[in-house]
């Protein structure tokens, strides 16, 4: 199986750091930690490539190579996600969506994401193994959900070999998940505890 992991482009907002990054000769602030962690959870024999649209572009040859496209995104990346979905559908590549955007908004925006073949929601450590088992049997479902939170001590190290760190200004390291606070404007506790 050939898996193309695509991280959508951030719009020109505070979070993109677009204007500041030029001063230090970098293309993006941080690598896509979640998607790299998902890559590490995929079967070892699967071929994997990463396309971070914040540092490079998505080509037709990328899509022709792939059997599956995995997209992980935050809500602010929605516009780029919709462009990726359209390109994948045009190329005839199956799409697996996950991450905060799909987990928190798939019910509200179900029609917007109807071209996503599989939604692997909530904690990938819990739902991804279920998806992988079903795809191995040849009958993957459309939606995988879980109510429990992951034990991140069991989470593998991200697949750092899929990217070139020279494009990034900084590095993220995950040592916990969730937040002890419950701010009304934030969905972190709903997603990660």
Q: How many domains does the chain have?
A: 1
Q: Which domain holds residue 34?
A: 2-146+181-192
- Render pLDDT for 15-32 as a digit per residue (tens, 0 to 9): 678 888 989 999 999 999
Asked, for residue 26, whether it belongs to a domain, the answer is yes
Q: What's the CATH code of the domain at 51? A: 3.40.50.280
Q: Is residue 106 part of a domain?
A: yes
- pLDDT at res. 15: 66
The pLDDT of residue 190 is 62
Domain membership of residue 176 (yes or no) is no
Distances (CA, A) of 44 to 36, 121, 125, 147: 14, 22, 16, 27
Tokens found for residue 136: 């191995």
Asked whether residue 109 is assigned to any structural domain, the reply reads yes
Q: Flag whether 164 is in a domain.
A: no
Query: What pLDDT, in 10s, does the model give residues 62-89?
Result: 999 999 999 999 999 999 999 999 999 9
At residue 184, the pLDDT reads 80
Alpha-carbon span 13 to 79, nearest angstrom: 13
Q: What residues in the chain have per-residue pLDDT under 50? A: none
Is residue 151 domain-resident? no
CB-based contacts of 137-144 (< 8 A; 24+ apart in sequence): 142/117, 142/118, 143/106, 143/118, 143/119, 144/118, 144/119, 144/120
163 within domain boundaries: no
Q: Cα separations (Å) of 75 from 48, 57, 87, 114, 153?
A: 25, 20, 19, 17, 27
Q: Are 174 and 154 in contact (CB under 8 A)?
A: no
Q: What Rg, from alpha-carbon coordinates, does the chain have?
A: 16
| 147, two tokens | 């109510």
Query: Cα torsion for 126, 187, 35, 19, to the nearest 10°?
Result: -170
- Distances 171 to 29, 128, 166, 167 between C-alpha atoms, Å: 8, 25, 11, 11
């Amino acid at each position: 199986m050939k898996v193309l992991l695509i991280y959508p482009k951030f719009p020109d907002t505070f979070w993109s750091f677009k204007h500041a990054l030029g001063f230090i000769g970098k293309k993006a602030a941080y690598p896509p930690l979640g998607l790299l962690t998902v890559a590490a959870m995929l079967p070892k024999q699967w071929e994997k490539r990463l396309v971070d649209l914040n540092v490079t572009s998505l080509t037709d040859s990328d899509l022709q190579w792939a059997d599956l496209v995995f997209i992980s995104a935050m809500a602010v990346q929605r516009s780029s996600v919709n462009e990726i979905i359209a390109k994948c559908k045009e190329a005839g590549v199956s799409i697996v969506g996950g991450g905060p955007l799909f987990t928190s908004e798939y019910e509200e925006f179900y029609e917007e994401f109807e071209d996503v073949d599989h939604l692997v929601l909530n904690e990938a450590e819990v739902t991804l193994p279920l998806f992988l088992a079903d795809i191995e049997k040849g009958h993957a479902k459309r939606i995988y959900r879980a109510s429990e939170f992951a034990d991140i001590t069991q989470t593998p190290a991200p697949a750092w070999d899929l990217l070139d760190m020279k494009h990034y200004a900084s590095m993220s390291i995950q040592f916990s998940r969730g937040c002890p606070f419950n701010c009304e404007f934030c969905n972190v506790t709903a997603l990660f505890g």
